[in-house]
Amino acid sequence: MANRTPSNIVVLLFFLSCFLVSCEKQKEHIAPAILERDSVATMTTYGVNQLISDSGVIKYRIVTERWEVYQNTNHQKSVFSKGAFLEQFDEKFHVNSYIQCDTAYYYTDNQLWELRGRVRILTKDGLRFSSEQLFLDRRTHVLYSYVFSKLVTPERTLAGTSFKSDERMTRYTVSNTRGSFVKTDFTGANDTTTDTISTAKRPQASPRPKNPSIP
């Protein structure tokens, strides 16, 4: 099933990715790592509450309790082990959309985001997404998940075990769905149907004549 719902929610992760790269480039090492592939974080920051501006206007906020950067492992990455919360603001500093999760990983080499545990997304258009895991591949510009995911828009509700979308969430597919969708997407009629197996109904009993022997 496909749907079109304008959204700029993934811009949050895009700007956070750029922010992480810029911070890593500014990091200066005063001594070489103990081992070539040392698993110790090269940077650990606590209590992050960072505002990010775009063209001189504050548009984003990042909140996380712990942020770790690993640069000497097989795959460079940033880890938000205590959860992450990202907000996007409009011109009047009102919250347009947000992303939150219990744990987040950004794999620098693969340009891949992985969000885990109570992943929640809300867009300014009223689209709500919830799952336990979500990936964003910045190279292919694809969002995807292979666990149960739920989408709620002002028009419909969808839920399924597999989710895939473009990075702006304008075109998405939910497989093995169960939920409601607007029938105009297929017939042009203003009606609503349900993408579930109908529950079998017990056939109605036919009337029978009353037994005269029973008073």
DSSP assignment string, 82-94: T-EEEEEE-TTS-
186 vs 195: CA distance, rounded Å = 13
User: Among 68-77, 152-161, 165-174, 186-195, which stretch is predicted with the lowest mean pLDDT?
Assistant: 186-195
Query: Which pLDDT score is estimated for 120?
Result: 95
Query: Which pLDDT score is estimated for 11?
Result: 56
What's the chain's average pLDDT? Answer: 75
**Is residue 166 scored above 90 in pLDDT?**
no
Confidence of residue 6 (pLDDT cuts 50, 70, 90): very low
10-24+41-194 topology per CATH: lipopolysaccharide transport protein A fold (2.60.450)
Please report, for the chain, the start and end positions of each structural domain, with discontinuous segments joined by +: 10-24+41-194
Residue 159 corresponds to which tokens in the numbers above? Answer: 């839920």
**Is residue 8 scored above 60 in pLDDT?**
no
